[in-house]
Structure 1
Amino acid sequence: MNRPTVGGLLSSGAVKPAEVSAAVEAYLSRSEPGLFKMSCEYELDLASAVAAHPFTVRLLANRKCGVAARRAAVRTAIILARPEKRVDAPSL
């Protein structure tokens, strides 16, 4: 079975919009973003999520792009990413 995307988890309510916004801000504000906990069940490697989205990589490399464009591109990469189930996630 394929892992769901962050977008799919948003649609199902398993991840909240505020968690996606926090992930975007975490990526943009850290030099080495690392793992980001999304909900009590999932975590996402932010650097890998962005690196897997070629458009976002190109946009972030362009110094002429503004903050809003960067934020939107990172948000898109995160929404398309497939987070991992957390090892320490509670059993439901």
Structure 2
Amino acid sequence: MTVKELSQEARHEQALKMYAQDTPELLDEIKDLSPDEQQDQIQWAFEDEAEAQGLQVWELTLKYTTTPEEFEAERLKLHKEAAEVLGVEWEEYCEMNGLIV
């Protein structure tokens, strides 16, 4: 199964695993916590990382689970879908969300 075929939830779980592997200092800090508490800490750190990068959590998930080329294409596709769902013109949506296309 390719990453594109994963559900959003499965993709997010994969991104969390990859993020945890990329942050061994975090894993060292939380090693004495229960598995559930470790998962919570990884999730919160992931959310903080997304914010630090100026991304939504779903965008950081996408960043971890796609190539750089796929990331931009998928990111724009999902933002366009969000604009449609919200009933907002694409240009206005881009302006509201600081998107440069």
TM-score range, shorter chain: 0.3 to 0.5
Q: Identify, as 1 or 2, the structure richer in strand.
A: 1
Relative contact order (alpha carbons < 8 A, sep ≥ 6): 1 or 2 greater? 1
Q: Flag the structure with larger Rg.
A: 2
TM-score by length of 2: 0.33
Please report the TM-score for the alignment, with normalisation by the length of structure 1: 0.35
